[in-house]
Amino acid sequence: MTGWQHNPATAVLILADGTRLEGFGLGATGHAAGEVCFNTAMTGYQEVLTDPSYAGQIVTFTFPHIGNVGTNDEDIETVNMAALSGVRGVVLKADITNPSNYRAAEKLDAWLRKRNIIAIAGIDTRALTARIREHGMPNGIIAHEPTGQFDEASIAAELKAFPGLEGLDLAREVTTAQSYPWDQTRWEWNKGYGKLEDPQFHVVAMDFGIKRNILSCLTDQQARVTVVPAGATAEEVLAHEPDAIFLSNGPGDPAATGKYAVPTIQKLMETGKPIFGICLGHQLLGLALGGTTSKMHQGHHGANHPVKDLTTGRVEITSMNHGFAVDADSLPSGVTQTHISLFDGSNAGLAVDGKPIFSVQYHPEASPGPRDSHYLFTRFLNEVRKQKGLPEKPEYKAPESAA
């Protein structure tokens, strides 16, 4: 497998098996090791690159035209700006073009450089994706040197030292250092972001690498949010007197993060308060309920993943970003598998029987991705409304296809 030949090559991507792909460099200079994955989304590259769940990974975009709408400050998904460069690198097919969009404030190349993210272009991303599908996600190292003179010894040493994602607690690296309030509502066309004026509920969100649009989807349900660090204890969470608790997405191995998060979640489940988890939060909830998780072969990364809701029979097209999964056959009695991936049958949701506790593996906030699953935020806050004796809101359902 070879990349586009640039003479001289100003960037390289080297995989753990010795495969070397040469191209031309963009963004920051230097080198960084990570797990190489691929993302199939056709839009939302800025949201992908600022998703803290990609910490420790080098992202290969299968769509060839990345950068064509530029970048702006409104489409950043991380809230913790210190974690903005959690993604280790970017692999592209084509050079970054000049942006052609009225919202563009900066070219992607300059944006990557400011955030210390290395990119390589001119790579045969179809061949690289096929390799990952066949052999799994490899460790690799990406390097950019404008002169083409690479420090091969240093690059080889860093790649050898990278341990891979299994056993890594990366939530500690991307979480907030201290609690903070959130009252920003979702972005609206020609209006931008709004502010919650009349909160009715209070949600505490445990930040394992939370995304901005998840928080805004919660405020859209009239809930003010208090975000707490990943390592917050149950006592610290409950000191905020929440009506409900949210477990966020995030990077790394859930078993590693679970060493401190699982005991907290188990104590929170005893309160009877509604709990909703997404992505890593879903995996941590599965562990807290007695299940297990395992590393996936190629993971799920994209905005076109079909998921079936086993409770309704409906199929949703979803955004996904995870390299670990809950083992469905490990879920104990009293816990129901509610959703499955139609790509490979892996677990995509669970619920505790008779309790207001549920989670999904995918990203219902749709940033990037379709909005088929926005109703889950309504379902979550409806559990609070029921406990408070308030009328429930109708869940959004996609229109049925014409007969």
**Structure-block tokens of residue 63:** 């769509």
Phi and psi angles of residue 42, each rounded to the nearest 5 degrees, phi first: -95, -15
Distance CA 289, CA 311 (A): 20
Q: What SS3 state is found at 316?
A: strand
Report whether 280 contacts 249 (CB < 8 A).
yes
Residue 273's closest CA among 245, 241, 301? Answer: 245
Distance CA 54, CA 32 (A): 14
Q: How many CA atoms lie within 13 A of 224 on its CB side?
A: 14
Query: Residue 73, Cα to own-chain centre: how many angstroms?
Result: 19
Question: Cβ contacts of residue 218 below 8 Å, gap of 6+?
Answer: 182, 203, 205, 225, 246, 377, 381
Distance CA 62, CA 5 (A): 19
Catalytic residues: 279, 363, 365
Distance CA 188, CA 186 (A): 6
**Structure-block tokens of residue 215:** 């928080």
Query: What HEC string does 85-146 produce?
Result: CCCCEEECCCCCCCCCCCCCCECHHHHHHHCCCEEEECCCHHHHHHHHHHHCCCEEEEEECC
**Structure-block tokens of residue 238:** 């409950």
Strand order in the sheet with 275-278: 180-182, 223-229, 201-207, 244-247, 275-278, 357-360, 347-352, 335-341, 293-309, 315-326
In the beta sheet, which residues pair with residue 108? none
Distance CA 203, CA 383 (A): 12
